[in-house]
């Protein structure tokens, strides 16, 4: 008998970002698209699910790099060497393969399995300059990893000290389930190190994201915040920075998660069963956001 999937309420950094960006977008992503994978689901749900799975070129470029970095670390864990030029080529080929899938509309067979890019779906396409920029980015980021000081330090550690390579984990904050996904984590000399690979430029919210991971480490593993090191690695520029946060900041993360969960649930029709209706989730009044939004077709903002 197949397991019945239940749309459970939870919190994550990406869920919060979506909620902050546009309530309607949040609704489409976490409620409107639910069950849309089912062939018997109504047309709106199916469209919503397809649009939810759609990527865009910068995001896809970043996900290719993340995938390849993950594989390099997994190979290292298994005692296998990786050649920078060969891995960069793998990354480039994967980028080009995804773009081709999108161009040829393979996603129509399965929108989760095949790449569908915003640039193709909504027209405009990808010009040769943009394509070259993305090709250069995946190759640069992949090769930069090998000469990055953080990666060199990871190489000196034993995989038995590694705690996570892209592992999705959850914890509880009051009654709320909280999801986190570390790019990489290791425990050494009584310290917990959390590493996040970035393929874009520095953003203000980068550290806030890592603060949530620090909260997770304290909440589930009881690690003192002063024993947690948070490192952001910017692969494109091959730079990095390590930050620490205080116990007070970790407590603030906890409070913010609870406050935000309450705000999210206030818009629900039925909190107990996590039931939502579209009309309760207003569209953003910042219309410039609609231009790059996957849901603009469904939302009528095209």
Q: Under the criterion CB under 6 A, does residue 236 sit at the interface with ligand SF4? A: no
Three-class secondary structure of residue 11 per DSSP = strand
Integer angstrom CA distances of residue 100 from 86, 106, 120, 174: 21, 9, 10, 45
Residue whose CB is less far from ligand SF4, 33 or 209: 33
Nearest distance in Å: CB 35, ligand SF4: 19
Nearest distance in Å: CB 56, ligand SF4: 13
Site size for ligand SF4 (CB under 6 A): 12
Residue whose CB is less far from ligand SF4, 28 or 184: 28
Residues 6+ apart with CB under 8 A from 262: none
Binding mask 254-283 for ligand SF4 (x = CB under 6 A): -----------------------------x
Nearest distance in Å: CB 286, ligand SF4: 8
Stretch that binds ligand SF4, among 18-26, 92-100, 101-109, 258-266 (CB under 6 A): 18-26
Block residue for tokens 């920075």: 241
Exposure class string for 238-251: b at 16+ Cβ within 10 A, else e: bebeeeebeeeebe
Query: Which residues in the 24-83 window bind ligand SF4 by CB under 6 A?
Result: 24-25
Residue whose CB is less far from ligand SF4, 163 or 296: 296
Nearest distance in Å: CB 278, ligand SF4: 10
Nearest distance in Å: CB 208, ligand SF4: 21
Answer yes or no: are the C-beta atoms of 238 and 148 closer than 8 Å. yes
Nearest distance in Å: CB 299, ligand SF4: 3
DSSP summary character for residue 291: G
What is the torsional sign of CA 262, 268, 274, 276? negative
Do strands 228-234 and 176-188 pair parallel, antiparallel, or not at all (unpaired)?
Answer: unpaired
Residue whose CB is less far from ligand SF4, 166 or 278: 278
Residues 6+ apart with CB under 8 A from 183: 66, 69, 70, 165, 166, 195, 196, 197
Which residues of this chain interact with ligand SF4, rule CB under 6 A? Answer: 22, 24-25, 283-284, 289-290, 293, 295-296, 299, 301
């Amino acid at each position: 008998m197949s397991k019945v999937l239940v749309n459970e309420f939870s919190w994550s950094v990406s869920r919060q970002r979506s909620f902050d960006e546009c309530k309607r977008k949040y609704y489409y992503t976490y409620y409107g698209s639910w069950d849309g994978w089912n062939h018997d689901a109504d047309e709106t749900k199916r469209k919503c699910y397809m649009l939810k799975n759609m990527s865009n070129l910068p995001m896809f470029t970043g996900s290719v790099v993340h995938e390849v970095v993950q594989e390099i670390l997994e190979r290292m864990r298994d005692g296998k060497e990786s050649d920078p030029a060969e891995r960069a080529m793998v990354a480039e080929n994967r980028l080009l393969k995804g773009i081709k899938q999108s161009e040829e509309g393979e996603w129509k067979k399965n929108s989760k399995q095949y790449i569908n890019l915003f640039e193709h779906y909504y027209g405009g396409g990808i010009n040769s300059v943009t394509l070259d920029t993305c090709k250069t980015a995946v190759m640069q980021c992949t090769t930069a990893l090998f000469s990055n000081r953080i990666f060199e330090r990871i190489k000196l550690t034993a995989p038995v000290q590694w705690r996570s390579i892209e592992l999705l984990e959850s914890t509880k904050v009051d009654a709320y389930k909280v999801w986190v996904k570390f790019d990489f984590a290791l425990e050494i000399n009584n310290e917990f190190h959390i590493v996040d690979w970035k393929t874009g430029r520095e953003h203000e919210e980068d550290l806030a994201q890592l603060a949530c991971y620090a909260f997770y480490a304290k909440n589930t593993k009881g690690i003192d915040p002063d024993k947690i090191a948070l490192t952001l690695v910017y692969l494109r520029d091959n730079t990095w920075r390590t930050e620490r946060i205080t116990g007070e900041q970790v407590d603030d993360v906890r409070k913010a998660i609870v406050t935000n969960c309450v705000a999210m649930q206030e818009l629900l029709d039925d909190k107990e069963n996590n039931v939502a209706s579209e009309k309760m989730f207003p569209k953003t009044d910042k219309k410039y956001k609609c231009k790059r939004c996957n849901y603009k077709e469904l939302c009528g903002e095209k």
